[in-house]
Structure formats: C-alpha cells, structure tokens
Amino acid sequence: MSALTQHLDCCSYRLDAWWLGLAHEKLVRQRYRPDFSDYRRGIHLGAYGWLEDARPRSTPPQPVTLPGELEPIFNPPGSTPLLAAPGSDGFLHAPSLNHAATAAILRTGFLANATPANPGSLSVKLDSERVRLARSFLEGIRSGQSLGALLGYQFERGLHDRHAQAEVDRFIHALRRFFPLRGTKPAEGVPIEAIEARNVIDGLALLRHVTRRGNRRFPFGLDIPLDPPEPSAQQLAAIDTEVERLIDINDALADLAVAESVHQMVQGNMDRAGATLDAFSKAGATGGGPPPDPDVVTTPRSGTSLTQRVGLHLPADARPDSSPIPGMAMTPRAQADPAVNAWLAGLLPRPETVACRVTWTDPATGEARERVVSQADLELQPIDLLWTLRPEDRAAMSDLDDRIAGHLARESAARPDAELNLRYTDTVPDRTTFFQLSPMVAALRSLLVAARPVKPTDLAPPALAEPVDTALDERIDLPRDRPASVRDRLRDLRDALVSFLADLGGLVADLEANRATLLSTVDTWLARLAGLLGDASGFGMLRSGWSEFSTWRFRGYRDLLAELTGITSRMAGALSKADTVIAEYDALPPETEAGSRLRLLRRAQRLLSTEPASPQATPEQLRDTISGLRRDFTERLSALTAVGSDSPATLAGLLAAVRELLPLNRFDPAGLDLAPHEDRVVAFCADLLERARSTEHEATTRLDAADTALGAYDAADAGPGRAEAATGAIRAVLGRDALATTEFTLPEAMTAPWRRVLEAAERGDLTGHLDRDFPADDWLHGVARVRDNMRHWERVTLLSGAVGEFEPALLPAQFPYQDGDPWLGLELPGGHEIDGDHLLYTAHYPDRFSPDGTLSALLLDEWTEVIPARGETSGLAVSVDRPGTQPPQSMLLVTPPVQTGTWRWDDLVAAVNETLDLARIRLVEPAHLEATPYVHLLPATTMTSTRHPITISTDLAVNNLNLAASDLGSDNA
C-alpha cells in the first residue's frame, strides 16, 4: 500500500521526482559509454551547507568600568575605551589550548545550569588555595589513608588548634561515637602505618550526614549526650566553622576530580577520564587505587632542552690478563672489568699502604703480640674492595675478617687458641687503614654499581641521537676473553671443590674406619676448605670461612687445653700433698711402730696412684714402691704440663700429644676422656663436606648459566647482542651487581667535533665568560645537592684528596658546539641566545685521552633540564553566541549541466541552491495546497514521454498538434 501511495504521489504533485529523473538520465549518459560496454571512473568530493537568515546583533558594545589598578593599564589616557558586549560572560585565559577548552566546557556547564534559586549548580572553583588543599589530601590518600580518616584528622585538629578561646575538645569523643572510623586489619606484608587509625572521627561520614540531612549546625539533628555545662554559642560556632571547612575541602576535591575528567576528555583520553572519576570516588577505600596526580592543574612549559650526562672514561688498554699492580695476580672481578680496576688502582692508595692492625695475646707466654696485615697481603685488587670493605654490612665485612684470619693462619703467626682482635679503627703509622678508606670505597661502590656503560648514542647531539640510534650502537662490544677468563676461574674453583669432595668424602663415608685419619688431618681439611671458600667469596659467593672455622678450632683447642689444665692442676696438688706425707714419714723416729708407718705410706700411695697397695708389704717395701710411683707420677705430670705450656700449633697435633699421655686413670681418678673431643672433630669434618657440597652446587649452577650466556655470545652478531650476552655471562659468575663495562668506537663524524670541543674546554674557552675559579667544581657542588649519584662523585673527589692518589676532575663539553659558544651548565653571558637543544657531556678522562680508537666509559648520571622559552602558547576561551546552524548530514550527487570536462564554480553554486529549492518543494504536501488556487489543478496526472516513438506510449503532445490544426481549420483537426 505504501508503494502505491508513493507512486500516486509521483503521478500527481511530486514534480521534483520527475526533474531528478532528467538528472539521472544525464548521469547515465556521462557514466556509461553509448553501447553500455563500460563505464567511466572519476568523481570530485567536496562539502556543502546553507546558512540562512544570518543577521548582525543590533546591540552595540558598551564601555567597561574596571576596578582600581586595572583602569590605567587597559584604559590609558588617549586610548580607545575598552568595550564589552552587553550580556557577555567575558573570557578565560588558560595556560594552554587544552586548558582553555576545559575551562570553556566547565564554564558552559555552569552558565547553562545555574539559576537564581541554585546559583552554584555545576560551579567549579579551582583557585590556588583550594588546589593546594586538594592535592595535599590526594597525597595522603596515596600514602594509604582513607578520605574519611584524613577529613577526620582535619576536623579534630581544627577543633583542637584553631579555637583556643572556645574549648571544644570535649565534643570530639562524643562525635567519634556517632561517626566511628572502621579500621581495617593490615594485610600480610603491609606496614601498619599504611592503615588508618580507629581513634578518629570518620570525616566523610560526618559530611554525608550534614549535607544529606541539610542540618549543618551542631548537634546536626542527633541526640548527642553531653556532660554539663551546655555548649556555649562560641563553642557551637567553632564546631560549625570546622564543619563548613570540611565541606569546602570535600568540594575542592570534587571540583578537581570533575575538572580533571573533563580535561582528559578534551585531550581524547576517554578511558583515563572515566578512570579518574572512578579513582576519586573510591579514594582511599579498600580495593580502590589512589587517584593520579591531576594534569588539569599542571602548567605546560616549553623551552630549550639541555640533556645533562656525566661520564667516567676508563683506560681503554686494560686487559683481563694484565694486572695494574705489579706482582699481584688478577682476581675474578678484576678480570671481569679490568678498565674499572685499572682506574681504581690509580685512584685508591697502593695496596701495600692499606692495612689493619691485628693484636692477640700469646697463650703460652702471655706476651702481647700484633701484626699489620695489608691489602697486598690479602691479594685484593682495588675493585675487590668495593665488595669486601663494607663496614655497614656485617655479612660482607666477615669476608675481610676471613681473609685476615686466613693470612695469619697460613703464616702460623698465632696459636689456634689465641683470640685475634681485628682493630680496624686503630691508626697504623704511615699507612691508611681499611676503616679510613671505607667512606671513599662506599661512595665508589654506590656510584659504580648504579652506573651503566656509555653507548655511542649517549655522545650524539640531540638532533642525531634518534635517527642513527641503531647504527651507532652496533659499535658496542665486550671482548669474549673477559667473560671467558672469569668463567675459567670459576671452573678451576669448581674442580678444586670436586677434588676436595672426593678426598674428604671417601673418609667421611666410613667414619669409624677412617676416624684416626680424620683426627690427624682435621687442620688440613679445615685450611683447605677455608682457602676454597675464600676463593669463592671472590665470585660473590659469601660463605663462612676462616673466621668461623678458626672460631670452631679455637673453642675445641681451648676446651681440650682447659680440661688438660684441670688435670695437671689436680695432679700437681696431689703430688704436693704426697710429698708432704712422704716428708712426714721420713721424719718419723726409728722406734715408730710399723702400723703408723704403713698408714702414712698408704696415704701417700693413694695420692700418687689409683691402684691399691699390697696388704702384705712392709713399710720398707711400700716406701720403695712409693718412690717408683712418685717418679712415674712426676714424669707424667711434667709431660702434661709441657703439652699445656708449649702446645702444638694444630688441633690434630694437640689431640695426638694428649693421646700419647693417656690413659691417666692410674694417676687421676677422673682421668681424661678424649672421645667427646674426637667426636666433635669427626662431626666437624662431616660438616665441612656438606659446606663444600653446597658451594660446589652453586658454582656448577653459575657455570651452567655462564656457558649458556657464552653460547648466546657466539651465536650473536657483533654489537649490543654480544655485549648483552657477555654481560650476562659475567653476572652469572659474579652475581647481579658485577661490573661489566662495554667498549665502543665512534665514527669520524662524531670524534672530530668531540676533539674540537675538548680542546676548547682545556683552553678554558667554554668557561672563559665566568668570573670564577674551578667552574666545573662549582657546578658539581650545586648538582650534588639534588642528585644522589653526583653527591657520591662529589664525596669521591673530596675524600680522594685526603686518602687517594689524585683528585679526579671533570671536564665540560657540549654538543653541538660552535667556536665561541659558552658552556650552558652555568650562567650565560648577557644577550646570548640558545639556538636549540644541546647535550652537555661532563666527564672525567684518563691521561692522554683521545676520542679515536676503542673507548670504555661509565655513565654516572643523566637528567634533562629545560630552559623556559621567552613566550608560551596560551589559550583563550571566549563567550560567543555563535549561529545555531548545522549542515545536513547527507550526500549530494551533482551532474554538470553542460558536459565540458571541467566544473565551473557557478554551476556548483547553482546546483546547491537548486537542491535547497527542491528540498523546499519536497516538503509541500497536498494539505498545504487546499487553501490555495492550485487545489483546482490537483489531482493531476503525469505520464511518461519518450524521445523516439519506438515504443508504445501515451503522448498527449499529439493532442496539442490536433488542437493547433483545428484552430487553423486543418482538415486533420
């Protein structure tokens, strides 16, 4: 039915459809060839629209009256008065275009929704005070507190501090009962400081109550019991003031959240806009993330970027098989990074001048003894001090203790029961103590461990860094001999541990059968494993070594000597008493009866022997027996005393010496049981085996990781891939904090400018405009106050003057550099203009440095500074009543009236205007014509007509011809 209605419309009043049929026929002729074999391609695209009935505003602008100080600024004498359109809402000047768009949207929302009855609808107030207040609360939320707790703190603090004249503290407890803060139990691993306190008012709950109930006056519609006296008017005003202040704080947070969300939408960040509102709505709640720092209150700044980098250039010719200290072998860490080790060797005091004083008391003579142990004695390369000399780390310092104890043990300088005192803080004449050197070593360790190897792109000017990034960094390398040599050293250690396990493991496998062997060789096993563990500590495998083993041996040695001393003391007492009895016997008169004589002799015999005397012996016979007993007793006591006073230097030797004098039960009733001491030794040997097995397992694990990394090195192409694999191999062996500085070369296009700027810096051309001595030092002392790594470097330079060999200096350079350019690190000469971004590369260089050839350097620190531009692009949001028009969202297909091959502007304008006319005709319906004269002509019928009469059709034009003939009297009429 709808199709029939539309068809009837086309047959009656829809003339526009017929006219467009002619346009369609023309389009077909233009698009297709005459034989319809193909169609022509090509179309022009454009946009169109109509703006009708646009008229200028008739109300003229009016002069503006400005307040006080603004009048002479904007309306100076003789100038045109400042005008404003009546009813205009003015403009907003924002720091950027995005900020202006945000302000415009917020202002529009306010103007569209504010009414006299509700003037604050959608109002947003972001002045500096409210923004600072809101951001302080956001910082508290990010620290783990909830918004309710923070508001509660503010409320209670305000009541306590701001109203001293009105004592209102007594109302706090009452309000806590009605608005308690629900404390949460901290999760595992969460510090208690990150959980809100319970003894504070829930400020958010209080706010919701007073705002939703509409009662902002104490007691807020609640039945709050209060002790007398009743609150005074001044107290009530103080409480109400603090409530209003909480409302203002909450409103400031809400304004900031809405503004931030709108600002993100303006920038097209729809996800962040929603996330911002969600984060603010869950501020500080359980499971809710902290709100981000808002961008809407951040003023964008443009300017010239200065990329600051600080480098430490190292000796480029250092190799893992060449020690910078004559006569001292390279250690694993020195082989891993020989360049850093060589630089430290020149900076730190010589190893023979770094020492520690060790004191002890000789147990045999009681004489005070001491020995000075130097770094050279311990065979520590300078780089090893970074991990060995750490007074703040007791576990790390035990490594140095072990090395000193092992050195003294190998020299047999002290008996096993001598208690060593490592006096680190004692001064040593003409030497630098480890303690005195430790602050400088600590600063070096913090500096070097945090540094990274310099890449060629770190030296490229800002304009070249990104385009040539890949090509430049392909010049990085780390020679294979460095990780391979470290890996080989670890393999040798692992093999030595395997040999130790095989040797000791065969004995421990059958403790009973090999008991005697273990007892006689315990000191050998102890020293052998302690030496292996000392080597393992050089790879970062901290294990108990000489210190613990010496302590164990000290205790075993001391305990056995103490028991031996107890026996000799008892025997000496018994001998003294026996001599007294014998002397009393010898002093008896000849006529003394035999019974009395025998009683004295038997007393002496019991003191010298635990064996009973013969009951049939005569006094003369018993006296001869006692003489023999005393001789044996004295000999054994002398032997025991000799062992105690001149003890063997080993625990095994002491055990053997004591064992030769056993048993002692014939002379002492208690005797000496050596079995418990021997059992301790056997158990200790078994423990040594387990320690060795654990260390061997770790060494094997590290070796496997190093082999994997070296395999990746061999498979990688030259450049960052091989350097990364080599670094991985070194750190697999030495630990994650091991130093592994890469090497690199630079193209001539970079070395020539670098050489030129270094020559200028050495001549003082870069800093010649500065009226000061040592400008690089002034720059260092300034940045050291705000940069941790630069503070460490500053400390190194200061301490090296006191305990080091030289004070490392910094040389400034910058890229790009033109002759006469000043250094941009400090103040600039007047009138100097910076013509673009710069790289400021300040570095310490070794002697005879040249940027040609192979280089090795560490990047100690880097940061970016921006010199503000003289002008900024700001935004202006203007209140304008723009025309309320919108072009049609439709497509318009236009054919040219005459096919000439090109379009004419007038034809396009006529087509668009004709389209508007047709659109208006199309809007006319029969109902619109009923009151017009045209109603008598409708309904009319329109029928088709063909150009060539080759088909059957109704041609009313024939009637026109007949009518014309009739009028002329034609016979054919």
Question: Do the beta carbons of residue 320 and residue 335 sit within 8 Å?
Answer: yes
| pLDDT of amino acid 183 | 53
Coil, strand, or helix at residue 489? helix
For residue 146, how far is the Cα from the chain centroid? 26
What's the rounded Cα separation, in Å, for the pair 823 and 91? Answer: 43
Q: Around Cβ 931, how many Cβ atoms within 10 Å?
A: 8
Residue 832 has which token pair? 């100097």
Residue 171: name the closest of 183, 181, 160 by CA.
160
Going by their DSSP bridges, the two strands 743-744 and 421-423 should be labelled as: unpaired
Q: Around Cβ 337, how many Cβ atoms within 10 Å?
A: 28
What's the rounded Cα separation, in Å, for the pair 567 and 565? Answer: 5
Coil, strand, or helix at residue 700? helix
Residue 97: name the closest of 754, 731, 694, 878 by CA.
878
- Whether 712 shows a pLDDT value over 80: the answer reads yes
Phi-psi region of 304 (alpha: psi -120 to 50; beta: other; left: phi over 0): beta
DSSP tag of 353 = G
Question: Do the beta carbons of residue 336 and residue 484 sit within 8 Å?
Answer: no
What's the rounded Cα separation, in Å, for the pair 429 and 125? Answer: 72
The answer to which of 166-170, 172-176, 549-553, 875-879 has the lowest mean pLDDT is 166-170
**C-alpha dihedral, 837 to 842 to 845 to 851, nearest 10°:** 0
Going by their DSSP bridges, the two strands 432-433 and 814-815 should be labelled as: unpaired
DSSP tag of 624 = H
* Peptide bond before residue 747 is cis, with ω within 30 degrees of 0: no
Encoded amino acid at 57, one letter = R
Per residue in 653-679, is it b (16+ CB within 10 Å) or e — as a string?
bbbebbbebeebeebbeeebebeebbe
What's the rounded Cα separation, in Å, for the pair 124 and 483? Answer: 63
Q: What angle do CA 830, 817, 308 make, to 5 degrees?
A: 85
Question: Do the beta carbons of residue 63 and residue 83 sit within 8 Å?
Answer: yes
Coil, strand, or helix at residue 833? coil
What's the rounded Cα separation, in Å, for the pair 497 and 525? Answer: 12
Question: Do the beta carbons of residue 285 and residue 146 sit within 8 Å?
Answer: yes
| Residue ranges with strand state E in 275-315 | 303-313
What's the rounded Cα separation, in Å, for the pair 531 and 537? Answer: 10
For residue 609, how far is the Cα from the chain centroid? 77
User: What's the farthest any 2 CA atoms get from each other in the chain?
Assistant: 210
| pLDDT of amino acid 381 | 95
DSSP codes of every residue in 158-220: HHHHS-TTS--THHHHHHHHHSB----PPPTT--GGGS--SSSB-HHHHHHHHHHHT--STTT
What's the rounded Cα separation, in Å, for the pair 657 and 640? Answer: 9
**Where would I find the H helices in 646-719?**
651-660, 675-715
Question: Do the beta carbons of residue 609 and residue 629 sit within 8 Å?
Answer: yes
- Whether 360 shows a pLDDT value over 80: the answer reads yes
What's the rounded Cα separation, in Å, for the pair 806 and 844? Answer: 12
Element (H or E) spanning 422, and its range? strand 421-423
Q: For residue range 895-945, list pLDDT tens digits in order.
A: 888 877 778 888 888 888 888 888 887 777 777 777 787 777 666 665 666
- Whether 395 shows a pLDDT value over 60: the answer reads no
Contacts of 546 (CB under 8 A, 6+ apart): 401, 402, 403, 405, 406, 409, 530, 534
What's the rounded Cα separation, in Å, for the pair 455 and 783? Answer: 23
| pLDDT of amino acid 500 | 94
Work out the burial of residue 359: count CB atoms within 10 Å of its CB; fewer than 13 is exposed, 13-18 middle, 19 or more buried. Answer: middle
- Whether 480 shows a pLDDT value over 50: the answer reads yes
The answer to which of 293-297, 395-399, 630-634, 725-729 has the lowest mean pLDDT is 395-399
The answer to which of 53-62, 545-554, 723-732 has the lowest mean pLDDT is 53-62
What number is the average pLDDT over the span 477-492? Answer: 94
What's the rounded Cα separation, in Å, for the pair 728 and 736? Answer: 9
Q: For residue range 500-550, list pLDDT tens digits in order.
A: 999 999 999 998 899 999 999 998 999 899 899 989 999 988 777 787 888
What number is the average pLDDT over the span 243-253? Answer: 83
Contacts of 879 (CB under 8 A, 6+ apart): 88, 89, 90, 91, 107, 111
- Whether 588 shows a pLDDT value over 80: the answer reads yes
The answer to which of 272-281, 480-489, 616-625, 650-659 has the lowest mean pLDDT is 272-281
pTM: 0.69
3-state SS string for 912-967: HHHHHHHHHHHCCCHHHHCCCHHHHHCCCCCCCCCCCCCCCCCCCHHHHHHHHHHH
What's the rounded Cα separation, in Å, for the pair 292 and 651? Answer: 67
- Whether 289 shows a pLDDT value over 70: the answer reads no
For the chain, report the end-to-end CA distance as a whole number of angstroms: 42
What's the rounded Cα separation, in Å, for the pair 846 and 867? Answer: 32
Residue 739 has which token pair? 């130093």
- Whether 971 shows a pLDDT value over 60: the answer reads no
What's the rounded Cα separation, in Å, for the pair 385 and 445? Answer: 9
Q: Around Cβ 355, how many Cβ atoms within 10 Å?
A: 24
CA-based torsion, 135, 141, 145, 149: positive or negative? positive
Coil, strand, or helix at residue 554? helix
- Whether 190 shows a pLDDT value over 50: the answer reads no
The answer to which of 67-71, 390-394, 566-570, 861-865 has the lowest mean pLDDT is 390-394
Residue 453: name the closest of 862, 856, 792, 725 by CA.
856
pLDDT band of residue 83 (cuts 50, 70, 90) is confident
Residue 839: name the closest of 810, 868, 813, 866 by CA.
813
What's the rounded Cα separation, in Å, for the pair 153 and 203? Answer: 8
What's the rounded Cα separation, in Å, for the pair 173 and 201? Answer: 8
What number is the average pLDDT over the span 865-880? Answer: 84
Q: Around Cβ 99, how many Cβ atoms within 10 Å?
A: 24
| pLDDT of amino acid 35 | 67
Question: Do the beta carbons of residue 341 and residue 383 sit within 8 Å?
Answer: yes
What's the rounded Cα separation, in Å, for the pair 918 and 70? Answer: 57
CA-based torsion, 120, 123, 127, 133: positive or negative? positive
